[in-house]
Amino acid sequence: MCPLWRQGPTCGEPVTGQEGAGTVGSAQRRAVHAQTFELFEDPAVNAPVKPVVLIAEELSPATIEALGPDFEIRHCNGADRAELIPAIADVDAILVRSATKVDAEALAAASRLKVVARAGVGLDNVDVKASTQAGVMVVNAPTSNIVSAAELAVALMLAAARHISPAHAALRGGEWKRSKYTGIELYEKTVGIVGLGRIGVLVAQRLSAFGMKVIAYDPYVQAGRAAQMGVRLVDLDTLLAESDFMSVHLPKTPETVGLIGADQLARAKQSLVLVNAARGGIVDEAALYDALKTGQIAAAGLDVFASEPCTDSPLFELENVVATPHLGASTDEAQEKAGIAVAKSVRLALSGELVPDAVNVQGGVIAEDVRPGIPLTEKLGRVFTALAGETAQQLDVEVRGEITEYDVKVLELAALKGVFADIVEEQVSYVNAPLLAAERGTEVRLLTEAESPDHRNLITLRGTLADGTQVSVSGTLVGLAQKERLVEVNGFDVDLEPATHLAFLTYEDRPGMVGVIGGILGEASVNIAGMQVSRQEQGGAALVALSVDSAIPADTLAEIESAMRAASVRAVNLS
């Protein structure tokens, strides 16, 4: 049966796999979505053979217990490629931490592999795209370390405020320097939390108990929700001006890299103690060094760095810096939680059940005709967030067309996963996405309609912002190759592939604007891959939708906005 997204008249060739949906077709050997958990018969002995789980790094004993007796457990040193490649050849699942690289080479060697489980949050050592193309599910443990990370941020703040690191070093060197290392209290000081996600909230709660006044910058959290937690929302400039202490809890995205640079640090109090236990690169390390060296700010506590492992940094030479080697998740409790979480996910995946922490393909019974829409819907969510610039008070996920014959609840989850993917520090999954929406005061509705006048199937995300503004984006899949297309943005008709780098410019229709855009982007060496102009009437509001080969620098976007007198300029990065 032809998938119902198709516009073509014939069917029969395999459907190309897409990230987030897996591959579909007769050549698919790893049907993750429909996988049933069973003991396979060994033809040689006519005896049941248990699925094989390979543990490639040291994990807690509780991980083995959580797997239970239904698996054959094997072990190897995943950091040793010569040992890993033959060991992975005939296993059904592999559990790793951070030292084992599950890349295209390892996946090619794994003829039976169905699940890669990362006992932790980060997935830098797992090739998610290659896994998806191979039909291999990737799971992680997105909430296993949030308490540990929050506690480390508080520990770094206290250590920096009380000069614990240099005082300890001096004492070990035989020096008693009480007066030199006089510190400051947290009590009745103002702390600014940059990023009020789950970890940011935990830090705010803990610092409130110290008697601190808590302010926060997070454009994706509504003021009412923050007020319920006793937190006052402010813009970034206000936070920098008012904060005595500051703790960063943002995801690392193209928009957040370098967010705290020289200009921002110049606006801060000279008494500021800055902590970054989130991701390296959000705070510009060169600018931070200069600010600490010159006394522009007082101290810093760092657990993360732009390039890791980092053992040689000018920051380490400064006495007013306390630094740790990315220890946010390095507690016994976090490691045990991570191991247990991924062990449960492996059991679910191999039994064909819904896997909440799957980051690429979703386990459980999802109709084959619905699955190709999952990655498209996630991208629509990311585009929606970029267009809105804040979280919506009301978000409708509208699904039209023939696929509404099936259960399309997964598309609502995929939309939310995309909406929050670039705005929270923690990994977003199908389970925590609705919780993130609830925490931010976003009401979500899934609306279905069998009639779809212009497309066989159509997915639209439509949201209402705090000021009543409506934001919408729609997409579909077209042709035998199931190509993703954006077909509507804020009421304007478009036909644009959701490429890695996009931009949307809204302005008053008048001659010469296309040339203005091309000229400015040319001067910035940004190549235009595709451009569309859409308008509702001559001389009225118009939209330019761009796909470009590289990210458009912020100053270039500002120049375009000024030259066009644009009402809105939004860039989207889908990498």
Active site residues: 279, 308, 326
Helix (H, G, I), strand (E, B) or coil at 128: helix
Residues 261 and 290: beta-carbon distance below 8 Å: no
**How many alpha carbons lie under 13 Å from residue 234 in its C-beta half-sphere?**
19
DSSP output for 416-475:
HHHHHHTT-SSPP-TTHHHHHHHHTT-EEEEEEES--SSSSEEEEEEEE-TTS-EEEEEE
Q: What are the structure tokens assigned to 8, written together?
A: 């073509």
Q: What are the backbone angles phi and psi of residue 116, rounded to the nearest 5°?
A: -110, 120
Pairwise CA distance, residues 221 & 389, whole Å = 11
DSSP output for 555-570:
HHHHHHHHHHT-SEEE
Pairwise CA distance, residues 345 & 349, whole Å = 6
Cα radius of gyration (the chain):
26
Residue 564 bridge partners (DSSP): none
361 vs 102, 409, 472, 499, CA distance in Å? 16, 15, 26, 20
Residues 552 and 521: beta-carbon distance below 8 Å: yes
Residue 475's region, left for phi above 0, alpha for psi from -120 to 50, else beta, is: beta
Amino acid at 296: Q
* Sign of the alpha-carbon torsion through 330, 213, 242, 252: positive
Q: 380, 262, 248: which is closest to 302 by C-alpha?
A: 248
Residues 214 and 239: beta-carbon distance below 8 Å: no
The per-residue b/e assignment along 355-375, b for 16 or more CB within 10 angstroms, e otherwise, is bbbbbbbbbbebeebbbbbbb
First CA to last CA across the chain, in angstroms?
33
